[in-house]
Chain A
């Protein structure tokens, strides 16, 4: 028997057919999640962040160049959370659409300066900006990071919004990381933010190290926004790990 056969057999032989979960608890939590999604869906814009799938309401006026309101509320994401932290504006009857953000729609108003990555996508420029969010039951999360595009006329359109869904958004260390979902004509370079004195951020993928580009948030210099050049890290490709180093090269 080959090692692969042995592995297959072992994986099946060790199944526990009697393993059960508390389905009452599952359904209770599922109902709560459904309600949170509905609540969020009724607001101006709805985003579902990746880690635990909690619905988040983006707060604030539309971005510069956007319409007076953020338009009709997108329906609530009910696709499986993808490996990317993302949000969805899927329509109601799609079977299992990939969770995408409210792609290509006007987004909430940026807080502080919009960071221009210099990455040209068609006639648009790839930009990142911090926005206000509100996560039900998580009062210490008030900001999220949006990946968007700025058109030549200055209009901002949001592609992906990521934010924490637990804890505090300004706690030291890495926060939610956003990955492209391959459902856009403009792939979103992998991005996120780190809180602390990071001078270098390095991702690893398949044993390869990739340096991120960085910019500090204009409203809080401890917040380091980073993204990976699409030429060095294919948008959507998952990182195996990521670290930050300070000026002296120490790992943070």
Chain B
């Protein structure tokens, strides 16, 4: 069923923040995150007439993740994961600290691990769906997820120590 621009605008306004944030979690970089979310929405809009009512968000999410995975799939790339994001108006110290912690510990993960962590624990997708969206086996999702969490457990105390020394 074809839907109009007004519906897309409504959808995009509702979905933008979450898409940008998911991309930020996967890249650790605000500019890349905004670019990736914008690309996902462009492609979603280009296909708008074919997307079923209840699938627009899933479509945009898959497009976003695949866009980022496409970039990793090319010869090794590095993402700046140590960058502490700019402080926005209204930020409080806790927010900045939490964000810095998050960026640091996610930075300890490989791109694939980050993607799985974001899909599993930010989007709360079941393992089978993560596997489908990343075109890997459920076993790979389980093992990668487990490895990622182990890295997080290792990285977290170190990060906490660093914070305490500040």
Contacts and interface: CB of A to CB of B under 8 A. Distances in A.
- Chain A interface size band reads 35 or more
Contact of A95 (B12, B46, B55, B88): B55
A17 B111 CA distance: 25
B161 interface: no
Contacts of B111: 240
B66 A82 contact: yes
If over half of B's interface residues share one DSSP class (helix, strand or loop), that class is named, otherwise mixed; here it is helix
B21 A15 contact: yes
Contact of B45 (A20, A27, A92, A181): A27
A250 interface: no
A1 B66 CA distance: 32
Nearest to B88: A16
Given A11-B122, A240-B110, A243-B76, A80 B99 contact: no
A239 B38 CA distance: 25
A16 B122 CA distance: 14
Interface stretch (A50-58, A127-135, A147-155): A50-58
Contacts of B122: 8, 11-12
Given A7-B105, A80-B62, A240-B112, A19 B20 contact: yes
B36 to A, nearest CB: 11
27 contacts: A3-B153, A6-B156, A7-B117, A10-B99, A10-B102, A11-B21, A11-B121, A14-B95, A14-B102, A16-B88, A21-B41, A27-B9, A29-B38, A31-B45, A33-B43, A78-B47, A80-B44, A80-B47, A96-B59, A179-B135, A181-B135, A206-B144, A238-B73, A240-B72, A240-B112, A242-B76, A243-B75
